[in-house]
Amino acid sequence: MDKQGNPREYSSAYLRRTYREGKRVRNETVANLSALPEHVVDWIDAGLKGEQLVPAGSEFTIARSVPHGHGAAVAAMAHRLGLPALLGPSCRARDLVLALIISRVVRPTSKLATAAWWPDVTLGPDLDVAGATTDEIYAAMDWLLDHQDAIERKLAAKHLGPEVNPERMALFDLTSAWVTGRCCELAARGYSRDGKKGCEQIEYGILTDPAGRPVAVRVFEGNTADPVAFTKIIPVIRDAFGLDKLVLVGDRGMITSARIGALRELNDDPDTATDFGWITALRAPDIAKLAAEDGPLQMSLFDTQDMAEISHPDFPGERLIACRNPLLAAERTRKRDDLLAATEQLLAPIIARVAAGRLSGADAIGVAVGKVINKHKVGKHFHYRITDTSLAIQRRHDQIAAEAARDGIYVLRTNIDATELDPAGVVIGYKNLAKIERDFRIIKADDLDLRPIHHRLDDRVRAHVLTCMLACYLVWHLRKSLGANDIHRRTPTPAGQPSRPRATLSRCRRQGLQPTRRPGQPTAQLPRPARSPGHPHPQPDPLHRNRHRDPHARRPHRRSAPRLHAHRHPHPTDRRVVRHVNAEKQQIPSSAQNSHYLTTATSA
């Protein structure tokens, strides 16, 4: 008992030997094992029983180890989303396409490199694609293109239907990707969104839901304009997806006045019975017209708020939402001043040459000025006068001031009634276009590496882009499950909210990993060897002399342990492990003669 009246239990372990002297059985304590750690005592106990102990790790030989975790995680998400059933019926081609999509997420590279990589990871044997040939991969891509309409129809019903998309809103935008080689049937020179000048390219447009989840993709020639791409996506939405009531969101270059006129005609046609809406933005000349002295867009609208709804006869049946962003206004002012200063720096050497007489003639001076004055797209803000012997350039301060007054102002146009979508909802719907831009970054640069495109046939290019779109669909859900909009640029946890717990080894117990040591848990130590009984100078226990043990941890074995040696005399010898609860009244079994046994004594 301790001072508080609680019972205490002390446990000791001894290694004892029994032997026979004539007709009497005697015992001897060989060693005191109480100072040893409990697992070492277990080893001695097991050894006395005749069990064969081997060093940890030596019982197995690792012949080969292949990566598994990253592919298994992406494959698990793909099956959770029902991606195999979405692709089509079970077949060899579907397994190859599924492996291509998962590989595009895990390790984006060419098809040849992907096929060579499959045998080196568990993804290849799991999907039975480790020995796939190039012809099989290309045949699988053709199979995927044949099922594109069915796949996109399922995605549209899942994410654009009225049940899951009550705002009945969809986003559409166009981008480009440069190609290699000179034989691609879709490659053409056009405006490069990648800034890759001098290369042929293709263009592709992606249709998403308001959250930026990709639903459909269409590939166009490299010189296709944004309005033309928008015109081609309308029949897909109406005929292929069966959606006749949808609000399409696009930027000012995509949904132009001409495209809006075509949508009006389509809605007014009794044969089509469609009800398409739109949300887009006005161009700079239209905003300047609204901001005229007699126009409805006056700066006093933003004295107390940054958003106002106006109307104008040039936009009948439409609502105009005017917004002002002070941060955007400051950024545009800074950028314009920098570009004006950079242009003046380019013009300064030309002015010096004319003044020194090294450059003369109105034509020659005009050619030199024309090469640099609009390099930074601010030539409209300069007024210049050229003669055969002089050059005078100055800023148009009135024009610059008028443009600066409109900095940070943008006007949205929509035909959606105010009872269905308030002005804030219109602004949010338009700003959702940033999510489709994020999808473009995922597809082209951050995760999937769609470019450069090495395929030659137009069907293979379309299948390649469709594969990347489905991989983007998978990445979108992976990012959502990880709780981050952008893995490469995480947003901090808001104040007052608990942070997401990080994965630790203790959470991976079922995967065969050892848990980390808990705080306060003693580390493993090597004790000093136990001293034999009768030592002339007894020493204290090197660990803790009276170590507390569970009284039920060491129960007597039900059967005797195997013998250490063969029979050497008529009387059978025995070797067993005997455990006693009370060390003072321990009894040696009659059969334990000439043997070694382990005794554990526990007293209260």
Taking 60 as the threshold, does the pLDDT of residue 603 lie above it?
A: no
Give residue-wise pLDDT tens across range 238-291: 999 999 899 999 999 999 999 999 999 998 888 887 899 999 999 999 998 888
Which band of pLDDT confidence, cut at 50, 70 and 90, is reported for residue 542? very low
Which band of pLDDT confidence, cut at 50, 70 and 90, is reported for residue 487? very low
Higher pLDDT, 599 or 63: 63
Give residue-wise pLDDT tens across range 557-601: 444 433 333 344 444 444 444 444 444 444 444 444 455 556 655
Q: Write 580-588 long-range contacts (CB < 8 A, 24+).
A: 580/556, 581/551, 583/12, 588/18, 588/25, 588/27
Say how far apart CA 20 and CA 592 lie, in whole Å.
9
Taking 50 as the threshold, does the pLDDT of residue 528 lie above it?
A: no
- What is the reported pLDDT for 181? 83
| 127, 137 Cβ separation under 8 angstroms | no
Coil, strand or helix at 21: strand
Give residue-wise pLDDT tens across range 133-147: 999 999 999 999 999
- What is the reported pLDDT for 433? 94
- What is the reported pLDDT for 543? 37
- What is the reported pLDDT for 536? 40
- What is the reported pLDDT for 18? 87
In the chain, the percentage of residues whose pLDDT exceeds 70 is 79
Taking 90 as the threshold, does the pLDDT of residue 54 lie above it?
A: no
Say how far apart CA 249 and CA 206 lie, in whole Å.
12
Q: Give the chain's mean pLDDT.
A: 81
- H, E, C per residue of 85-120: HHHCCCCHHHHHHHHHHHHHHHCCCCHHHHHHHHHH
- What is the reported pLDDT for 51? 86
Cβ neighbourhood burial of 271 (10 Å; 0-12, 13-18, 19+)? exposed
Give residue-wise pLDDT tens across range 327-342: 999 999 999 999 999 9
- What is the reported pLDDT for 370? 93
Please give the C-alpha separations between residue 418 and each of 79, 263, 267, 414, 424, in angstroms, as whole numbers: 41, 20, 19, 10, 10
Q: Which residue has the tokens 């554990």?
A: 600
Q: How many helices (H) and strands (E) does the chain have?
A: 17, 13
Return the closest-CA partner of residue 580 out of 590, 589, 571, 569: 589
Return the closest-CA partner of residue 169 out of 275, 281, 247, 286: 247
Say how far apart CA 475 and CA 70 lie, in whole Å.
13
- What is the reported pLDDT for 49? 83
Say how far apart CA 600 and CA 581 lie, in whole Å.
7
pTM exceeds 0.75 for this model:
no
Q: Which two tokens stand for residue 562?
A: 């195997």
- DSSP-assigned letter for residue 601: E
Q: Which two tokens stand for residue 25?
A: 């059985």
Give residue-wise pLDDT tens across range 449-463: 998 888 999 999 999
247 Cβ partners below 8 Å, 6+ apart? 167, 168, 169, 170, 276, 277, 278, 279, 414, 416, 421, 429
Higher pLDDT, 556 or 483: 483
- DSSP-assigned letter for residue 580: B
Taking 70 as the threshold, does the pLDDT of residue 97 lie above it?
A: yes
Q: How many residues does the chain have?
A: 604
Give residue-wise pLDDT tens across range 402-447: 999 889 999 999 999 999 999 999 999 999 999 999 999 999 888 8
Say how far apart CA 419 and CA 417 lie, in whole Å.
5
- What is the reported pLDDT for 601? 55
In the chain, the percentage of residues whose pLDDT exceeds 90 is 55
Taking 60 as the threshold, does the pLDDT of residue 7 lie above it?
A: yes
Q: Which amino acid is at 221?
A: E
Mean pLDDT of 517-538: 41
Taking 70 as the threshold, does the pLDDT of residue 348 lie above it?
A: yes
Burial 441-466 (b: 16+ CB within 10 A, else e): ebbbebbbebbebebbeebbbbbbbb
- What is the reported pLDDT for 599? 60
Mean pLDDT of 474-482: 93
Q: Write 558-566 long-range contacts (CB < 8 A, 24+).
A: 560/591, 561/48, 561/49, 561/50, 561/597, 562/49, 562/50, 563/50, 563/595, 564/48, 564/50, 564/595, 564/596
Q: Which two tokens stand for residue 47?
A: 């050894």
Say how far apart CA 401 and CA 54 lie, in whole Å.
86
Q: Of 6-15, 125-134, 565-574, which has the strongest mean pLDDT?
A: 125-134
Coil, strand or helix at 201: strand
Mean pLDDT of 2-23: 84
| 222, 186 Cβ separation under 8 angstroms | yes
Higher pLDDT, 192 or 585: 192
Give residue-wise pLDDT tens across range 159-190: 999 899 988 999 999 999 999 888 888 999 99
Q: Provide, for the chain, the percentages of residues in helix, strand and coil under a 3-state DSSP scheme, each rounded to the nearest 5.
A: 40, 15, 45
Q: Which residue has the tokens 């470019």?
A: 451
- What is the reported pLDDT for 600? 58
Mean pLDDT of 104-112: 94
